[in-house]
Amino acid sequence: MKTLRLVVIGVLLASALSVAPALAHDGDHSGPGSSGPDRHSQNVKLLSNVPRSSAATQSDLAFFGKYAVAGNYAGFRILDVSDPEAPQVVTNFACNGPQSDVSVMGNLLFQSVDSPQSSGACNSTTVTASTPGMFEGVRVFDITDITAPVHVTSIATDCGSHTHTLLPEPENDRAIIYVSSYPLGGAALGPNCSMPHDAVSIIEVPTSDPAAATVTKYHLDAATEFATYLGAFTFRACHDISVFKELDLAAAACLSESQVWDISDPLAPVFMWRFDDPAVNTDDNQGRVWFLDVSTGQKLANYKIPRAQAGPGVCTMHNFNFVPLRDGRKVLVSAVYTGGTTIVDVDKLIGGASEADSEIGFYQPSGSNTWSSYWYNGHIYGNDILRGVDIFLLSDNARAGAVKLDHLNPQTQISLLP
């Protein structure tokens, strides 16, 4: 029986970047949360909420052991989630720098910085790109003592680090980090952020000596589409990248198209194919996620939540992962910004079922604007821009046979079964 390998790419529409200049700090993550009472399916329950500790925008998540790392524009928090009904904040670490995408490898924690800072230090302030000594890029921390993270080094990358993806290589004493970046406006252009940019920075971090990290560039394929920001800056760039270590593949959600790369040499990706369907660029005010066959690039299905969202704000399938099921079933968990969190039976969707029939469950809290939603060891975790961390319980046989993980960087896919 043939095993179907999927690449799942949430494509960010270029039009989604056309936000008001006053919101440039939030870039494509702006917009108010939903209003009104909680909306949810009967099989999804909100177990707990850990409110944000400051007014800073809450961003991405990573996990290790019994801990969740929740990024925010002022730093990151480490939560003990061993009791999902009563999670505890172990560390609330201040380290200024939007947008604070996070990942963890061993005792190292990585943080993305995508807004010019006065320095690479944690006490930096947000400045203009023309400030001498300004910093954008990736910070590295030693979290051997999770109650007292230590800032080890800061690695500058051109155009900063909007998001990053960790490719772990402990066998080679290194972490490879793919950095997605693009200009967030005139104040963020920086001296090394010249147009059209068209590059992904690749950081090689020796895990035994992170301060010795080096940076190279992968220039995007020459046919990559251009995107325009605020009608002023035209560039080529990617917004998010997922890697599959055992397959030596990377899937990139670039602006207005998607690409798959061969990363058998992780420092020198090779373009394989692109997905550039005109339908992706049709803005219906609710973003979709697209499912493609890895080997052929064939479009298999696409999905958006089957509920209209009223008012301003963004409703895009953003950060997601699959429930790691032993039998190979494909169940997706995804954030939808103002649409909350959705759980989808992808096999059913590809088989021709409607979006409504394929959705297993959902939870849209009052006031939600959910940046990230992921499955991890029996529960669903959402980091909400406004609310903080939500923990949900899905009561459904779709979760039967899920593998327990010892860590999770959601953009890093690994083989769980032989």
- The torsion angle over the Cα atoms of residues 342, 343, 347 and 351, rounded to 10 degrees, is -40
Percentage above 70 pLDDT, the chain: 85
Predicted local confidence at residue 34, as pLDDT = 66
Structure tokens at 363: 């939870």
Identity of the amino acid at 346: V
> CB neighbours of 369 closer than 8 A, spacing ≥ 6?
31, 32, 33, 34, 313, 314, 337, 338, 384, 385, 386, 387
Model confidence band, residue 296 (pLDDT cutoffs 50, 70, 90) = confident
**DSSP letter (8 states) at residue 274:** E
| Range in 109-113, 164-168, 242-246 the model is least confident about | 242-246
Identity of the amino acid at 355: E
* 254-275 pLDDT tens trace: 887 899 999 999 999 999 999 9
- The torsion angle over the Cα atoms of residues 12, 14, 17 and 20, rounded to 10 degrees, is -150
Whether residue 251 contacts residue 260, with contact meaning beta carbons closer than 8 Å, is answered with yes
Considering only residues 316 and 185, tell me which one the structure prediction assigns the higher pLDDT.
316
Look at residue 13 and tell me whether its pLDDT is greater than 80.
Answer: no
What sign for the dihedral angle of Cα 119, 240, 338, 28? positive
Identity of the amino acid at 45: K
CA dist 77 → 53, 68, 74, 120, 351 (Å)? 9, 8, 10, 19, 40
- Segments of 269-338 assigned E as strands: 270-275, 289-293, 299-303, 320-322, 331-335
Question: What is the rounded CA–CA span in Å between residue 361 and residue 108?
Answer: 35
Model confidence band, residue 204 (pLDDT cutoffs 50, 70, 90) = very high
Look at residue 298 and tell me whether its pLDDT is greater than 80.
Answer: yes
Look at residue 208 and tell me whether its pLDDT is greater than 60.
Answer: yes
Question: What is the rounded CA–CA span in Å between residue 405 and residue 328?
Answer: 16
Structure tokens at 220: 């995007």
Nearest Cα neighbor of 114 from 150, 140, 141, 138 is 138
Model confidence band, residue 33 (pLDDT cutoffs 50, 70, 90) = low
Q: Where are the domains of the chain?
A: 6-413
Average pLDDT, the chain: 87
Question: What is the rounded CA–CA span in Å between residue 87 and residue 83?
Answer: 6
Look at residue 11 and tell me whether its pLDDT is greater than 50.
Answer: no
Identity of the amino acid at 73: Y
Burial (CB count <10 Å: 0-12, 13-18, 19+), residue 372: buried
Question: What is the rounded CA–CA span in Å between residue 88 and residue 79?
Answer: 5
- Look up tokens 């509920």; give the residue: 307
Predicted local confidence at residue 166, as pLDDT = 97
- For 6-413, CATH gives 2.130.10.10
Look at residue 242 and tell me whether its pLDDT is greater than 90.
Answer: yes
**DSSP letter (8 states) at residue 337:** B
